[in-house]
């Protein structure tokens, strides 16, 4: 009887226990800018995406693959969500958990993109997805205002190594 | 010493021209827009030259499927309500490839009942000529003689999530100046949007 009673509890516990749940930080632009300007020899692969952007969602596993393939190297994948901050608990956190994204995810909470898009990259018109690869030590930089395949990402990253 | 000043001036001019040069293809403010002929959802072909009364147009690349385009849909309708009587009607153009975004097929576009044309850019050539990259992406054209000159490019306002929280209404500010015969102070803005669903090569 006790066992039967505890079944729903155990199931509930299993469902609520996250296999991996990262805390997604909500950041403002100056904080992102600081991270983009860090004077390290790590190559950053920064992808701007949103849960509502179908090509972004399709492309995300490619960044995960890139991260795994470059584990142990000085490569950092950062996924910057442009979802509304009001959607963090409702959409972004469950999405990141469900997809098992292990690359760091941050949510950029700035209502007016006209204020900051140019500061990320003058060539970016604002369309998603957008990917920036840079190394501040070697001062190399590449940007892509389109969806990238694993092969394209790998080729792009190779130029930094 | 005398030679350094012109040299410095030259450097400045070169540097500023480099910085001001738009990096993407397509129109920049001041360019003449080439007229187009695109099919409206009612089956009729539409060109800029058709509407003889127009003093200009608010051309907006938009679609059925993009959440940002949806968020701005009512604001686009309001722009037409406000500016069509002043001679600047809205012309909406859907550039998305329905093979990539099925919700943007010509049939799906029929669900929209706008008071302005909703055109299909099947070859995506008009979007490319304009330099549109995302939805929504807006271009204000002003009639100068028989030409249509690009007078503003960019965003509608500074808050996609909530129109009531928008602090700067970029296109309305530009329209106020354009209607007064002045160039827009803020003539180009950027916004987040869905990348246009280009045909796969």
B158, A82: Cβ pair inside 8 Å? no
> What pLDDT sits at residue A17?
43
The residue segments making up the domain with residue B157 are: 36-195
Q: How far apart are CA B31 and CA B142, in angstroms?
A: 11
Whether residue A84 and residue B189 make contact (CB cut-off 8 A), yes or no, is: no
8 A C-beta contact, residue A35 and residue A71: no
User: Taking CB atoms and an 8 Å cutoff, what residues of chain A touch B154?
Assistant: 114
The number of folded domains in chain B is 1
**Torsion from C-alpha of A78, A83, A87, A89, nearest 10 degrees:** -10
Distance in Å, alpha carbon of B34 to nearest chain A alpha carbon = 22
Residue B118: both structure tokens together: 């909703």
Pairing of strands A104-108, A75-81: parallel
Q: Does A118 touch chain B (CB under 8 A)?
A: yes
Q: Are B190 and A114 in contact (CB under 8 A)?
A: yes
Q: What is the DSSP string of A67-91?
A: HHHTTTSSEEEEEEE-S-GGGIIII
Q: What is the pLDDT of residue A21?
A: 72
% of chain B beyond a pLDDT of 90: 87
Indicate whether B20 belongs to any domain. no
The verdict on residue B135 lying in a domain is: yes
The answer to whether residue B11 is domain-embedded is: no
Distance set, CA A159 to CA A55, A61, A113, B101 (Å): 25, 21, 30, 33
pLDDT of residue B4: 55
pLDDT in tens, B103-120: 999 999 999 999 999 999
Does residue A44 belong to the interface with chain B, where contact is any CB pair within 8 Å? no
Strand partners, B169: none
For residue A82, the Cα-to-chain-centroid distance in whole angstroms is: 10
Which of B100, B192, B198, B201 has the highest number of chain A CBs within 10 A, making it the mutation to test binding with A? Answer: B192
Those residues with Cβ within 8 angstroms of residue B153's Cβ, 6 or more apart along the chain or in another chain: B27, B28, B29, B131, B137, B138, B139, B140, B187, B188, B189
Q: Which of A115, A114, A123, A101 minimizes the C-alpha distance to A49?
A: A101
Of B24, B165, B192, the CB nearest to A123: B24
Chain B interface mutation, best of A32, A81, A84, A127, highest count of B Cβ atoms under 10 Å: A127
* Chain B residues within 8 A of A122 when measuring between CB atoms: 23
Q: Looking at residue B147, which CATH number applies to its domain?
A: 3.40.30.10
Residue B91 lies in a domain: yes
Would you state the pLDDT for residue B115?
98
- 10-residue stretch averages of pLDDT, chain B, 201 residues long: 52 46 73 98 97 97 96 98 98 97 97 98 97 98 96 97 95 98 97 94 74
- Judged by CB atoms closer than 8 Å, whether chains meet at B192 and A126 is answered as yes
- Tens of pLDDT, residues A11-49: 444 444 445 578 999 999 999 999 999 999 999 999 999
Q: Would the CB atoms of A123 and B161 count as touching at under 8 Å?
A: no
Residues lower than pLDDT 70 in chain A? 1-20
Compute the C-alpha angle A124/A125/A127, nearest 5°.
100
The domain segmentation of chain A, as residue ranges, is: 26-158
Chain A segment 61-90 residues within 8 A of B by beta carbon are: 82, 84, 86
Kindly state the tokens that stand for B38: 């695109």
Q: 3-state SS of A8-68?
A: HHHHHHHHHCCCCCCCCEEECHHHHHHHHCCCCCCEEEEEEECCCCHHHHHHHHHHHHHHH
CATH architecture of A26-158: 3-Layer(aba) Sandwich (3.40)
Alpha-carbon gap, residue B148 to B63, rounded angstroms: 24
Q: Which of B67, B133, B195 sits opposite A52 (nearest CB)?
A: B67
Q: What is the ipTM of this complex?
A: 0.81
């Amino acid at each position: 009887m006790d066992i039967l009673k505890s079944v729903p509890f155990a199931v509930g516990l299993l469902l609520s226990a996250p296999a991996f749940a990262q805390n997604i930080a909500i950041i403002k632009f100056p904080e992102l800018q600081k991270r983009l300007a860090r004077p390290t020899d790590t190559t950053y692969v920064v992808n701007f995406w949103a849960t509502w952007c179908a090509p972004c969602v399709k492309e995300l596993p490619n960044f995960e693959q890139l991260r795994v393939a470059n584990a142990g190297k000085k490569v950092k994948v950062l996924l910057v969500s442009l979802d509304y901050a009001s959607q963090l608990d409702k959409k972004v956190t469950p999405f990141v958990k469900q997809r098992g994204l292990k690359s760091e995810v941050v949510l950029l909470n700035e209502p007016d993109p006209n204020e900051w898009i140019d500061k990320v990259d003058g060539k970016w018109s604002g369309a998603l997805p957008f990917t920036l690869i840079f190394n501040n030590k070697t001062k190399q930089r590449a940007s892509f205002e389109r969806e990238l395949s694993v092969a394209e990402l790998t080729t792009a990253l190779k130029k930094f190594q | 010493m005398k030679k350094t000043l012109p040299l410095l001036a030259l450097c400045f001019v070169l540097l500023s021209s480099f910085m001001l040069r738009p990096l993407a293809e397509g129109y920049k403010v001041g360019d003449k827009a080439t007229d187009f002929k695109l099919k409206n959802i009612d089956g009729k072909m539409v060109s800029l030259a058709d509407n003889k009364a127009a003093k200009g147009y608010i051309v907006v690349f938009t679609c059925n499927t993009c959440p940002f385009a949806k968020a701005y849909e009512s604001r686009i309708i309001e722009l037409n309500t406000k500016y069509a009587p002043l001679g600047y009607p809205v012309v909406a153009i859907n550039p998305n490839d329905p093979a990539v975004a099925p919700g943007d097929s010509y049939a799906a576009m029929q669900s929209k009942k706008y008071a302005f044309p909703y055109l299909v850019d099947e070859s995506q050539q008009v979007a490319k000529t304009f330099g549109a990259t995302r939805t929504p992406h807006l271009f204000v054209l002003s009639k100068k003689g028989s030409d249509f000159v690009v007078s503003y490019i960019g965003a509608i306002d500074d808050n996609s999530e909530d129109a009531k929280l928008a602090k700067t209404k970029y296109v309305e500010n530009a329209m106020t100046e354009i209607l007064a015969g002045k160039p827009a102070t803020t003539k180009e803005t950027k916004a987040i949007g869905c990348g246009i669903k280009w045909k796969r090569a």
